[in-house]
Amino acid sequence: MTVRHFLRDDDLTPAEQSRLLDLAAELKGSPYSRRPLEGPQSVAMIFDKPTLRTQVSFGAGIAELGGNPMLVEGRLAGIGVRESVADVARVLARQVAVVVWRTFAQADLDTMAAHAGVPVVNALSDDFHPCQLVADLLTVREHKGTLPGLTVAFVGDGACNMGNSWLLAGTTAGMHVRVAAPAGYLPSEATFARADEIAAATGGSATAYDDAEAAVAGADVVVTDTWISMGKEAEVDSRVEVFAPYALTPGLLALAAPDAIVLHCLPAYRGKEIAAEVLDGPQSVVWDEAENRRHAQKAVLAFLLEESA
Ligand code: NVA
């Protein structure tokens, strides 16, 4: 049996991503139509970083799939501290059908996946936030009708999990992904190289900008995220200064396509990375985006369970 995991956005082929988005849309329309966790089987949800949307949307979604959402308190479990990631993986797999884990190092997720024997889902790491991207793409598809060929501009901390995930997931969807960030805050060359490789097959593209205005010009979708990701709190002063020219203001948004939509994974800091007029304005779809976490993650769980059967 091959166990499928969802650790980074490019774990899905373009065809699988498209299928998964179709399933998410189906589940949104018919929330109780699939019961792959009937029993109920349990899903462990482990959080080593703060959470609101992820905990609630996974918890509600797992219940809707017929399962039992089991919150495992990261601080009590002490994964990698009290015992190795590999030993935790071996223990969890004897109890639960899926492991959902929010943590710091991507390498720890890889280790968990290597030893679990059940699907492991990245619920945000320092490097990627793939579940958020399924929700984001679902939201864009709902509002724009399609994904291939659309231009998305991500402005701000391009090196954070959301910048990286947009590069991989956006190009997988055949989108033109522009990332605008100050020097030192762009996704790594390796991530751009991977996005280029994906884009070559899907017709998308991946481009780095240092100028936010050039990146946003004519874009169909404009995305930003906090300048201070979880774990970066000590850098708040330097970050607020370096990212100031990348704030998503009404003036910057005016350069995008007239019907452009605005996404933000939340939590948002009004007056910092995004102006209140933009976040709360008519082009913002952030509440749909937040709702879509549940539908997207249900599709991820159903897909992984089916593929791992
Ligand atoms: N980049 C942010 C995303 C929060 C959902 C962080 O890692 O804190």
Each residue of 270-308: pLDDT tens digit? 999 999 999 999 999 999 999 999 999 999 999 999 999
Distance 126 CA to ligand 1 centre (A): 8
Distance 125 CA to ligand 1 centre (A): 9
Query: Which of 225, 235, 264 maximizes ligand 1 atoms within 8 Å of its Cβ, making it the mutation to test the pocket?
Result: 225
Q: Which residue has the tokens 């495992």?
A: 72
Q: Is 75 a catalytic residue?
A: no
Long-range contacts of 277-285 (CB under 8 A, 24+ apart): 277/250, 278/248, 278/249, 278/250, 278/253, 281/250, 283/253, 285/139, 285/143, 285/261
Ligand 1 is surrounded, with C-beta below 6 A, by 124, 160-162, 225-226, 229-230, 265
Q: Is the pTM of this model over 0.85?
A: yes
Distance 266 CA to ligand 1 centre (A): 8
Separation of alpha carbons 106 and 165, rounded Å: 13
Model confidence at 1, in pLDDT bands (50, 70, 90)?
A: confident
Each residue of 57-78: pLDDT tens digit? 999 999 999 999 999 998 899 9
